[in-house]
Amino acid sequence: MKMIQTAEAMQSEADEARRAGRRLALVPTMGALHDGHCALVRRAKKEADHVTVSIFVNPAQFGPGEDLDAYPRDLDGDLDTLETLGGVDVVFAPPAEEMYPLGAPQAWVEVEGLVDTLNGPHRPGHFRGVTTVVTKLFHLCRPHVGVFGEKDAQQFVILRRMTEELHFGVEIAGVPTQREADGLACSSRNEYLSQEERAQAPVLAEAVCAAHGLIAGTTEEQPAEAVVGQMRDALAEAPLAEPQYVAVVGARDLQPVETIAPGQDVLAAMAVFFGDTRLIDNAFVTAGSQEEAEKGER
């Protein structure tokens, strides 16, 4: 496993691997690696025969007052995790000056529309920080495929739109959300939770599960508000949970839907605070898919 910290060395490594005819995958991360990241690396190994994992806590995607300084950093621990996992060719862990030589960026990459719902209004500027850094990482690591977690569903949809619309020539592969034994979605921010908060946090997964059941079981048009209501009821079981948003939106355009009809692809999503810790969870569901699955079994 090669450790690379400069943009120039990363581009040379990627060019050489491409010249040698290898198929390159990139797994962009901000470190503090957990089982969710390991699943991304496993997928990358299936997709390609040269795997780069980038580790970079990207200042451009944190707003004022967000957790940039507190964000967990453990490069040595991350390297151990990747060594144990095996099959990683390169770890690209640049310092901030290497990614942003001018300090604050002057060139941004922005996707409009998709950023106006869900997390977007609550984290102004966040997604343009993500699309900008992922663009840079793609230019430096030159992957054929980029691997991302579907837990960050809005990020996933935005990055897919960016690469398609701007002809990046990079495939975007999505990996389903990895969960702890009690259902809580794996996240580096779970480390911030107190014992009491951690005990209540699986309520997000319960709310997602309730939404999934209702949407997949759709046999005739139903108001999205009914699903949102069930999700809110599930969250209300945890006294420490403070929902920031709970929504059902179209799976591709991320715009709110009023009704859910069989065959419709939607995303049920939420952000919930436990104290200062903001957790998200969500599920892509095709309405009525339960009925289809049952028909298939018959």
If the CB atoms of residues 142 and 238 are measured against ligand PAF, the closer one turns out to be 142
The least distance separating ligand PAF from the CB of residue 289, rounded to whole angstroms, comes to 27
Backbone φ and ψ of 72, nearest 5° = -60, 130
Contact 128, 104 (CB under 8 A): no
If the CB atoms of residues 105 and 217 are measured against ligand PAF, the closer one turns out to be 105
What are the strands, taking DSSP E only, across the chain? 2-4, 24-29, 50-55, 90-92, 145-149, 171-175, 222-223, 241-250, 259-260, 265-274, 277-286
Count the site residues for ligand PAF by CB under 6 A: 10
Q: What is the DSSP letter of 133?
A: H
Of 5, 55, 64, 63, which is closest to residue 30 (Cα–Cα)?
55
Residues pairing with 145 in the sheet: 25, 171
152 near ligand PAF (CB under 6 A): yes
146 near ligand PAF (CB under 6 A): no
Residue in 32, 130, 145, 193 binding ligand PAF, rule: CB under 6 A: 130
The least distance separating ligand PAF from the CB of residue 270, rounded to whole angstroms, comes to 18
If the CB atoms of residues 159 and 215 are measured against ligand PAF, the closer one turns out to be 159
**Which residues between 50 and 79 bind ligand PAF (CB under 6 A)?**
58, 61
- Of 34, 37, 122, 139, the active-site residue reads 37
Residue in 93, 134, 208, 269 binding ligand PAF, rule: CB under 6 A: 134
Binding mask 253-282 for ligand PAF (x = CB under 6 A): ------------------------------
**37 is a catalytic site residue:** yes
The secondary structure of the chain in percent helix, strand, coil, rounded to multiples of 5, reads 40, 20, 35
Residue in 4, 30, 228, 257 binding ligand PAF, rule: CB under 6 A: 30
The least distance separating ligand PAF from the CB of residue 31, rounded to whole angstroms, comes to 9
Which residue bears the tokens 């995790």? 81
Residue in 99, 133, 269, 279 binding ligand PAF, rule: CB under 6 A: 133
Which residue bears the tokens 């809005």? 154
- Virtual CA dihedral for 13, 19, 21, 23, nearest 10 degrees? 40
| Strands 24-29, 50-55: pairing kind | parallel
Q: What is the DSSP letter of 167?
A: T
Residues pairing with 147 in the sheet: 173
The region of 23-31, 80-88, 164-172, 288-296 touching ligand PAF under the rule CB under 6 A is: 23-31
How far, in Å, CA of 238 to CA of 46, rounded? 39
The region of 9-17, 127-135, 168-176, 289-297 touching ligand PAF under the rule CB under 6 A is: 127-135
203 near ligand PAF (CB under 6 A): no
Active site residues: 37
> Which residues bind to ligand PAF, rule: CB under 6 A?
28-30, 58, 61, 130, 133-134, 152, 155
